[in-house]
Amino acid sequence: MGKNFIENNDFRNEMDKIIAKIKDNLMAGKNQFYKVSELELSQLKDRYYHFEDECKDGYITGSSFVIDKLNLPKGWFHYFLNLKHEINDIAVSAVAHDGAGILSLDSVLFGSITKLSGNENYMHVSQVNRNTRNIWVKNEAGKVYLMNPQPNLYSPDGTLDAENYDFYECKQGAGFIEIKSKRDGLEFHIRIFIPIDLPGEIWTISIKNVSHKTRKINIYPEINFGLDSHPSHYFVGMAVSEVDYDPDNFAIIAKNLDIKNSFPRWGAFISTKKPHSFDSNADTYYGFGASILYPKSVFDEKLANCEAKQPLKGMIGAFQHELFLNPKEHEEFHFAVTSINPEKDVKKQVREWTETLYVQQINHEFDKMSMAWKNIFESYLIKTPSEEIDRTFNIWGKYQSILCSRFNSPYDIGTRDMFQYMLANCMFEPNYVTLMLPYLLNYQYRDGRIPRQICKFSSLHDLRNFMDCQLWMHDLAVLYIKETGDFNILDEQIGFLEDDNKTINNEKTLSVYDHLLLAIKSAYDSNIGDNGLCKLGYGGWNDALDGLRGDKSESVWLSELLVYASRKMMELSILKNDKKTTAYLKKVIEQITDAINTAGWDKNGYYIFGYDNNGKPVGSSANKEGKRHLNENSWAIYSDIIPKERVDEVIDEMKKLKTPFGLRLLSPYSKKSSKEVGRIADQAKGHFENGSVYQHGALFWSIALLRRGYVDEAFENFVLLTNENRVSDISTNPPIYHSNYTAVPDNNDFGKEPYYPFTGSHAWRMRFIAEMIGITPEFDSITINPKIPSVWRKSVADCELIMKARKKSNRLAHDNIFYNIKIYRDDTIKKGMNVIVNGTEMKVGKNGVSISFDDQIFVNKSKKEKDIDISVYI
Average pLDDT over every residue of 454-461: 87
Q: How far apart are CA 472 and CA 665, in angstroms?
A: 20
- Whether residues 675 and 619 fall in one domain: no
Rg value, the chain, Cα: 28
Structural domain total, the chain = 4
Q: Are 512 and 444 in contact, with CB atoms under 8 Å apart?
A: no
Asked which of 322, 355, 372 is the last residue of a domain, the reply is 372
Three-state DSSP class for residue 233 = coil
Asked which of 746, 766, 786 is the last residue of a domain, the reply is 766
User: What does pLDDT average to over the chain?
Assistant: 93
Average pLDDT over every residue of 217-221: 98
CATH code for the domain in which residue 860 is found? 2.60.420.10
- At 117 the pLDDT is 65
Q: How far apart are CA 297 and CA 294, in angstroms?
A: 9
Q: Over 80: is that where the pLDDT of 125 sits?
A: no
- Whether residues 737 and 780 fall in one domain: no
- At 553 the pLDDT is 94
Residue 617 domain flag: yes
- At 786 the pLDDT is 98
Residue 282 domain flag: yes
pLDDT above 70 covers a percentage of the chain that reads: 97
Q: Supply the range of the domain harboring residue 867.
A: 774-873
- At 129 the pLDDT is 59
What tens digit of pLDDT does each residue of 593-645 get? 999 999 999 999 999 999 999 999 999 999 988 999 999 999 999 999 999 99
CB neighbour burial string for 141-174, b if at least 16 within 10 angstroms, e if fewer:
eeeebbbbbbbeeeeeeeebbbeebbebbbbbbb
Residue 351 — pLDDT band, cuts 50, 70, 90? very high
Residue 459 domain flag: no
- Whether residues 711 and 779 fall in one domain: no
In order, the DSSP letters of 406-449 are HSSSSSSEEHHHHHHHHHHHHHH-HHHHHHHHHHHHTT--TTS-
Residue 431 domain flag: no
Torsion of CA 623, 628, 632, 637, to 10 degrees: 140
Beta strands in 294-396 (DSSP E): 315-325, 330-340, 380-383
In sequence order, which residues have a C-beta less than 8 Å from that of residue 550 and are 6 or more positions away?
536, 612, 613
- At 109 the pLDDT is 80
- Whether residues 722 and 837 fall in one domain: no
- Whether residues 784 and 835 fall in one domain: yes
- Whether residues 220 and 320 fall in one domain: yes
- At 29 the pLDDT is 85
Residue 359 domain flag: yes
Asked which of 704, 737, 766 is the last residue of a domain, the reply is 766
What tens digit of pLDDT does each residue of 743-801 get? 988 788 999 998 888 888 999 999 999 999 999 999 999 999 999 999 999 999 999 99
What tens digit of pLDDT does each residue of 530-554 get? 999 999 988 778 888 888 888 899 9
Report which of residues 137 and 413 the model is more confident about.
Answer: 137
Highest mean pLDDT among 75-84, 660-669, 784-793: 784-793
Q: How far apart are CA 829 and CA 807, in angstroms?
A: 26
Q: Over 80: is that where the pLDDT of 671 sits?
A: no
Q: How far apart are CA 844 and CA 784, in angstroms?
A: 9
Q: Over 80: is that where the pLDDT of 424 sits?
A: yes
- Whether residues 670 and 813 fall in one domain: no
Residue 1 — pLDDT band, cuts 50, 70, 90? very low
Q: Which of 207, 453, 442 is nearest to 333 (CA)?
A: 207
Q: How far apart are CA 428 and CA 692, in angstroms?
A: 31
What tens digit of pLDDT does each residue of 238-281 get? 889 999 999 999 999 999 999 989 999 999 999 999 999 999 99
- Whether residues 788 and 842 fall in one domain: yes
Prior bond of 786 cis (ω within 30°): no
- Whether residues 144 and 270 fall in one domain: yes
- At 301 the pLDDT is 96
- Whether residues 189 and 337 fall in one domain: yes
- Whether residues 817 and 739 fall in one domain: no
- Whether residues 694 and 781 fall in one domain: no
In order, the DSSP letters of 375-403 are HHHTTEEEE-S-HHHHHIIIIIHHHHHHH
Residue 1 domain flag: no
Residue 703 domain flag: yes
Residue 310 domain flag: yes
